[in-house]
Amino acid sequence: MVKSQICDIVGIKYPIFQGAMAWISDAELAAAVSSAGGLGIIAAGSAPAYYVSEQIRKAKTLTDKPFGVNIMLMSPHAEEIAKVVAEEKVAVVTTGAGNPSKYMAQWTEAGITVIPVVASTGLAKMSAKLGAAAIIAEGCEAGGHIGELTTMALVPQVCDVVDIPVIAAGGIADGRGMAAAYMLGAAGVQIGTRFLVAKECNIHQNYKDKVISARDIDTIATGKRLGHPVRSLKTAFSRDIFSKEYDSSVTNEELESIGVGALRLAVEEGDTKKGCFLAGQVAGLIKKEQTAGEIIEEIIKEAEDILGRR
């Protein structure tokens, strides 16, 4: 059985979280995942607080199941969004791209289940001490902003330093990945890239097509020189940034400015030249569009078949 203590903590049927994806995971995708028994998560990304309020209210009309909101801590609006989630009494808050310590008391006092995304054991320990209900340990196979360690190396090390459930993220797209995560000590998984091709995912068709046609070696991590590596599909845009990172005549300011607006161009316009298509290394495993419910049921069945054979 893949059911674990995280299902009771969060109030979900299956221990599958939908990874928050900036500009992508809106109320519709989150509600579809939650209605299908997983935990849908609205991504605040770098959007203003009013957008996040709107999405929370919309999700409440679309599902009666619990859902979460992810706060990207590098966002200039993080402080304001931290208040919004408390006011709206969102069931679950996940955080990413930073240290959530200064918000922990505010959220736990509001009765929110707080589950930080970490890329190291240090932040996992600190978050557990401050009242996190669980930890999402995300390896660098993931799409978007990433840390140094792989999921295989990170998850068991995080499991060894906290006594709350650990959710594995990064490099998981099917039941084999889920079963492997359980072998490492995880009590659930977070999956982003596979939900890009969910029928309820409102991204440009070009984005879905690029994920479906991606091969194993078609993602690249750029931004290392700036200290915040980001994994995306190889495109003219990402290859250009990658080469500029090794060009000493290009300043850091110039590098920073190249990325501005590129996520929106990928998601809304499907711009295959100037867009930045965030995706994890598992894109090569993804072959077709399915509903969120079909994706979840398939992964659970595969994982249970494998784990039942132990």
List contacts with ligand TUI (CB under 6 A).
22, 45, 72, 74, 96-99, 117-119, 123, 138, 144-147, 228, 230
Nearest to 10 by CA among 47, 38, 50: 38
Specify the residue, 102 or 301, whose C-beta has the smaller distance to ligand TUI.
Answer: 102
> Residue 141 Cβ, how far from ligand TUI at the closest point, in Å?
11
Specify the residue, 65 or 210, whose C-beta has the smaller distance to ligand TUI.
Answer: 210
Q: Is 225 exposed, middle or buried (0-12, 13-18, 19+ CB in 10 A)?
A: middle
From residue 84, alpha-carbon distances to 44, 78, 113, 127, 280 in Å are 11, 10, 15, 21, 30
- Three-class SS state of 262: helix
φ, ψ for residue 40, nearest 5 deg:
-75, 145
> Residue 22 Cβ, how far from ligand TUI at the closest point, in Å?
4
> Residue 95 Cβ, how far from ligand TUI at the closest point, in Å?
8
Q: Which residue is nearest to ligand TUI (CB)?
A: 144
Specify the residue, 2 or 41, whose C-beta has the smaller distance to ligand TUI.
Answer: 41
Beta strand pairing call for 40-43 and 67-72: parallel
Angle between helices 78-87 and 49-62 (to 10 degrees): 30
> Residue 252 Cβ, how far from ligand TUI at the closest point, in Å?
14
At 144, which helix (H) or strand (E)? strand 144-145
| 8 A C-beta contact, residue 163 and residue 256 | no
Q: Please, which residues bridge with residue 145 across strands?
A: 230
Specify the residue, 145 or 234, whose C-beta has the smaller distance to ligand TUI.
Answer: 145
Specify the residue, 145 or 194, whose C-beta has the smaller distance to ligand TUI.
Answer: 145
Specify the residue, 97 or 168, whose C-beta has the smaller distance to ligand TUI.
Answer: 97
- Three-class SS state of 105: helix
> Residue 24 Cβ, how far from ligand TUI at the closest point, in Å?
10
> Residue 304 Cβ, how far from ligand TUI at the closest point, in Å?
28
Cα separation, 196 vs 71, whole angstroms: 19
